[in-house]
Structure 1
């Protein structure tokens, strides 16, 4: 089956210069699409990983991962069919020409503010305003340490699962380094609303001189960790984020981390972290973007948009609608709900950046989800509309 599907995809790519494929192609390919829908039911590709929707567990299966990629590619081609395009135009609530261009039906990975701004056509001056507004918020000490802990905890879970299937020396050493990194972060997190930390004495008043650590220590541990796990990098979702966060660590490597210093000294060191990161993380920084995602959603994942859509004029002067989409393997409630939440996260990011830029005009956001054989319907989530469409031939 996999070989036949690959052949179909090859013909699809050969004819990619055409907006509409021949009707014979749709007729020949639709049974394969149905077959893949049944095979992949209750599975979805989320943030680059194959996820079981029923329990949110990660599925490690290269064959299923490839089948999912094939399914999404074939379904994306069907969105350009006359039938699918005609169905969109019948909805008065959907902007005219929505998803009509082939480029608007392609995927998009967002890993920096620059990519968001390019998509929204935000000017250079407005980009400076965005950075100046966002940086002081997302570089707060608790956001910085929280993002690092989220990455390390995620990586810890991944290699624990990997250790059960294929334990090796690199993975075992990696586990020890992660433990050390998390212990380091525990020392870095000093905020406790119930503590009387302001009464904490300075080091000179303590018995002995405690050893002070610096952020350079965790930078070295990150380098060792990436080296230990380099053979497993294709299997570990959180590993690339270590490299991303090194950009920030390099800027603050001389800042002291120590719970045993006095309250004022501690706050001064935390303020240095924020100031240095705010000053040095540029608009295109992936580290800055990771901090923003953690600040907004408590997640460090980049934004994966399956159907990138666009910004469309929407029935009036200075009124726009941002539309993006996703392809589902099932129209069951749990799967639709999961897809809606993913789309809402992506759409919310774009709306947040646009509002921060102070751009003129009202902006509505719409999510569109496609599934083989689904009935046309719509749902409202957090005040925004999400349309469910059927893929048919």
Structure 2
């Protein structure tokens, strides 16, 4: 009986290895991915945590020469494009690449390059998307108890009025740029473009040209008041965003932008009654500013994509989510220390491409570091004093987070680069 059990276990392990090898070999066939056009991924190497990863069987030796030749051909056909902030874009202009064949070729390139990276760095890559605080916390293994710390730390910083307004304007700017690059836009897309332009003008008209870093209503009332105009509220922006989301939903090429519009609508529902009049008195303006921050902080939950969008704009001035492959290794007492390795594959091996890749990876690691520190800071109290939020903290970090970035490319010079406190390793893709 013991002999039969042992034979059964050994055969099962060999069968798993054969199945995994067949999956790897599929990377040489044309991509049939159904992922939306334009959305791209950076990659995180998983840590050796699971039994499946420890049993990973690499492709047969003869697989690599054919795969390397395919990599070279794919890289040649993809010259002039790059993966930037989760999207496939033209390197020269930054405009969105909507060609489905180019998107498929990029996915195929990344799948093959991932196998070459695995020969030197461990098991295959696993994909996810950093699109909310919840997903970032899942990557870092933040407990449910400490996720409240994240929200209480993030909200007072990112719900300030100039951050909120700036994020809205950035969502519209990105949308209008990518809609302008579309070939043969549909009537619905054309209507969406008109609405986005009208909403951008509305925000511009109510902004303070003198100080973009402060709320538009915080300017003192001028000595000679202009003729009174109709008071405007955020309800008008909410109405435009509601119509905008409806029209964007008809074009799959703009699916990522539609999700951002929906995310910002969540916050607009909380502040739709707030007045955004320019000539309001200073005292009332300060009160309204605090109302905006209080309503958003109170009602934007931890899982809110809108809250995560505000965090991205607060940190980097961008609102684009980062699609990644995630993995981590744990160490220390109770596994509180976390090590994360981030990987990006380069089509072009020149120095400009390397620098661009480092900056993109740096943003991903920066979000992870910010959330980690927020999660591992004990919040003693957080309260609204009538003028501002008061947060008292005990800066006792509960673990150590180690972040590294890895860039893989054809013909690149192997080296290590330190950028903003993180180490980025540049590796050349070559035959093992």
Same fold per superposition (TM over 0.5):
yes
Q: Quick check: 1:201–1:261 contact (8 Å CA) kept in 2?
A: no
C-alpha distance in 1 between matches for 2:68 and 2:144: 45
State the match for 1:337 in structure 2: 355
Q: Quick check: 1:371–1:390 contact (8 Å CA) kept in 2?
A: yes
Match of 2:128 among 103, 108, 129: 108
Distance change (3 Å), C-alpha of 1:326 and 1:291: same
C-alpha distance in 2 between matches for 1:128 and 1:191: 37
Match of 2:298 among 271, 279, 290: 279
Q: Does 1:184 align with 2:202?
A: yes
Q: What's the TM-score once normalised by structure 2's chain length?
A: 0.75
State the match for 1:7 in structure 2: 29
State the match for 2:382 in structure 1: none
State the match for 1:365 in structure 2: 403
State the match for 2:312 in structure 1: 293
Aligned residue for 2:253, secondary structure, equals coil
Distance change (3 Å), C-alpha of 1:147 and 1:367: same
Distance change (3 Å), C-alpha of 1:5 and 1:356: closer
State the match for 2:428 in structure 1: 390
State the match for 1:212 in structure 2: 231
Q: Quick check: 1:233–1:240 contact (8 Å CA) kept in 2?
A: no
Aligned residue for 1:119, secondary structure, equals helix
Aligned residue for 2:166, secondary structure, equals helix
Q: Does 1:25 align with 2:47?
A: no
Aligned residue for 1:388, secondary structure, equals strand
Q: Does 1:199 align with 2:237?
A: no
Q: Quick check: 1:19–1:80 contact (8 Å CA) kept in 2?
A: no
Distance change (3 Å), C-alpha of 1:158 and 1:172: same
Q: Quick check: 2:139–2:327 contact (8 Å CA) kept in 1?
A: no
State the match for 1:70 in structure 2: 108
Aligned residue for 2:129, secondary structure, equals strand
TM-fit CA distance, 1:148:
0.2
Residues 6-52 of structure 1: CA deviation (Å, up to 9, x unaligned) = 62768xxxxx9954222233333221112112222342222342223
Q: Does 1:171 align with 2:209?
A: no
C-alpha distance in 1 between matches for 2:79 and 2:168: 34
TM-fit CA distance, 1:124:
2.0
TM-fit CA distance, 1:294:
0.2
Aligned residue for 1:213, secondary structure, equals coil
Unaligned 5+ segments in structure 1 are 11-15, 86-99
Does 357-366 or 125-134 show the bigger shift? 357-366
State the match for 2:387 in structure 1: none
Number of matched pairs:
360
Aligned residue for 2:62, secondary structure, equals helix
State the match for 2:341 in structure 1: 323
Q: How does 1:106-185 map to 2 (within 5 A)?
A: 106-162=126-182, 165-185=183-203
Distance change (3 Å), C-alpha of 1:273 and 1:233: farther
TM-fit CA distance, 1:216:
1.6
Q: Does 1:222 align with 2:241?
A: yes
Q: Quick check: 1:130–1:353 contact (8 Å CA) kept in 2?
A: yes
Q: Quick check: 2:328–2:338 contact (8 Å CA) kept in 1?
A: no
Q: Quick check: 1:328–1:371 contact (8 Å CA) kept in 2?
A: yes
Match of 2:328 among 310, 324, 333: 310
Q: Quick check: 2:263–2:305 contact (8 Å CA) kept in 1?
A: yes
Residues 81-139 of structure 1: CA deviation (Å, up to 9, x unaligned) = 3xx24xxxxxxxxxxxxxx343xx22331011111111111122221111111101100
CA RMSD of aligned residues (A): 3.0
Aligned residue for 1:199, secondary structure, equals coil
State the match for 2:84 in structure 1: 46
TM-fit CA distance, 1:355:
1.4
Q: What's the TM-score once normalised by structure 1's chain length?
A: 0.82
Distance change (3 Å), C-alpha of 1:156 and 1:8: closer
State the match for 2:271 in structure 1: 252
Q: Quick check: 1:53–1:334 contact (8 Å CA) kept in 2?
A: no
C-alpha distance in 1 between matches for 2:28 and 2:336: 45
Unaligned 5+ segments in structure 2 are 1-25, 33-52, 377-396
C-alpha distance in 1 between matches for 2:306 and 2:420: 28
Q: Quick check: 2:95–2:177 contact (8 Å CA) kept in 1?
A: no
C-alpha distance in 2 between matches for 1:233 and 1:32: 29
